[in-house]
Amino acid sequence: MTDSRVEKFAKILVEHSARIVPGDRVLIEATTAAEPLVRELYRQILEKGGHPHPMIGFPGMVPFVQDDLYMTYANDTQLDFIPTFYKIAYDQFESRIRIHSATNTRGTSSLDPRKSQRRSKAISAITASQMRRGAEGVFKWVTTLYPTDGYAQDAGMSLKEYEDFVFTAVHANEEDPIAYWNSTAAGQQKAIDFLAGRDIVTLRGPNVDLSLSIKGRKFMNSTGMFNMPDGEIYTGPVEDSVNGWVRFTYPAIYGGVAVEGAELTFNRGRVERATAEKNQDYLIKMLESDDGSRYLGEFAIGTNFDINKFTGNILFDEKIGGTFHMALGAGYPETGSHNKSAIHWDMICDLRTDSEIHVDGELFYKNGQFVFGK
């Protein structure tokens, strides 16, 4: 019997996130570990008049993402190869739903970072198409996760506990989850309206002393259209405006590698110094990916207080209420960002203790809460 929460989860993705209408061609990316959700999506997309195209692999065998087998055995020519069917779908389809569903999240942790870097460059053309067509409103993409033993272990939970955590975070346990996600937009929009037309953002706290400009940039109200779960406001800072330092309070995970205690110092937008307590060499190597990898493509504030602990998965962790995150590399064109890169690496910093954000000198955020206008 299908868990009723899985049915609601699929409904959120089909009706709220991907907004499927008759005729939509929908790529479904997943592993066999997500079978219950894939089946529900398949059924509900058909009921909406869409055309579901499942691209299902075994765990560790999904070559578009950096999976275990591909990244271990692929030679340079294969690492440079752009996956044919993914490229067609991202260039032509109306929608894609990606379901992260790994059962071994550490399969690439000992990988040579040069292989990860090379693979990122190869698939950057697909990512660029996703971002461009998404900004144009002709490609409705959403990324989510189905609970597996691997993710549960990373989070320090049993599978049952982790399932409850995931379904709570996406609000599949609500009577009307779509109404919930619609209601979050109003509160976040107030913060976005306050930020409109502003310039200098300063962040101060035990782990950050940073300034950046948002002049001419647009904040996006993120409530489940591209990620599920969601809960953030984000923009692309002016590329050469970032100055100061930040010490990220949670591990920064990319390509299955956890960089712990990462600290970055910026000068005129560029990372001039980077250190880490663990996997510093990997951090430095990824910063050398291309011209845009040392610049920020995103600045964001997490607003989902139902995600109340770090789990080692960026899809959830970047939304933790009371945190901010920044992404090195590619920015989202719809925010006004011009930064291009093969990487987009989110890193998270807690702001819930002795921390403030000022905007043009006015207090905007204090100890994890919006306080503007009070």
pLDDT at 294 over 90: yes
Query: Residue range 187-210: average pLDDT?
Result: 96
Token duo for residue 360: 């043009």
- CATH topology for 4-173 is Thermophilic metalloprotease-like (3.40.1830)
Residue 278, pLDDT above cutoff 60: yes
Length of the chain: 374
Q: At 285, is the secondary structure helix, strand, or coil?
A: helix
Percent of the chain with pLDDT over 70: 97
Average predicted confidence (pLDDT) for the chain: 92
Of the listed ranges 114-123, 164-173, 176-185, the least confidently predicted one is 114-123
Q: For residue 55, is pLDDT > 80? A: yes
pLDDT value of residue 64: 65
What number is the average pLDDT over the span 78-84?
91
Task: Quote the DSSP letter at residue 62.
Answer: -
Q: Which of 73-77, 276-280, 298-302 has the lowest mean pLDDT?
A: 73-77
Rounded average pLDDT over 211-240 = 95
Mean pLDDT of the 191-217 span: 97
The whole-number pLDDT of residue 66 equals 60
Identify the pLDDT of residue 114.
Answer: 83
* CA 9 remoteness from chain centre: 18
- What pLDDT is stored for residue 63 in this prediction? 60
pLDDT digits (tens, 9 = 90+) for 320-350: 999 999 999 999 888 999 999 988 999 999 9
Count Cα atoms within 13 angstroms, Cβ side, for 292. 21
Q: Quickly count helices (H) and strands (E) in the chain.
A: 11, 19
Q: State how far the alpha carbon of 142 is from the alpha carbons of 122, 310, 329, in Å.
A: 21, 22, 20
Cite the residue boundaries of each domain of the chain with CATH code 3.40.1830.10.
4-173
Average pLDDT over residues 290-311: 94
The average pLDDT across 191-220 equals 97
Q: Decide: 33 and 148 in contact? Cβ < 8 Å.
A: yes
For residue 195, give the H/E element and its range.
helix 177-195
Segment 75-100 shows an average pLDDT of 94
DSSP run (H or E) holding 118:
helix 113-135
How many CA atoms are closer than 13 Å to the CA of 342, on its beta-carbon side? 19
The pLDDT of residue 356 is above 70: yes
Half-sphere exposure of 150 (CA within 13 A, CB side): 17
- According to the model, what pLDDT value does residue 202 have? 98
Taking the C-alpha atoms of residue 175 and residue 345, their distance in angstroms, rounded to an integer, is 35
Q: Which residue has the higher pLDDT, 106 or 8?
A: 8
Q: What is the pLDDT of residues 123-154, one digit of tens each?
A: 888 988 998 898 888 999 999 999 999 999 99
Which residues neighbour 9 within 8 Å (Cβ) at sequence distance 6 or greater? 37, 40, 144, 167, 170, 172
H helical segments located in 264-318: 280-287, 314-317
Q: pLDDT for 231-263, tens place per residue?
A: 999 999 999 999 999 999 999 998 778 999 999
pTM: 0.83
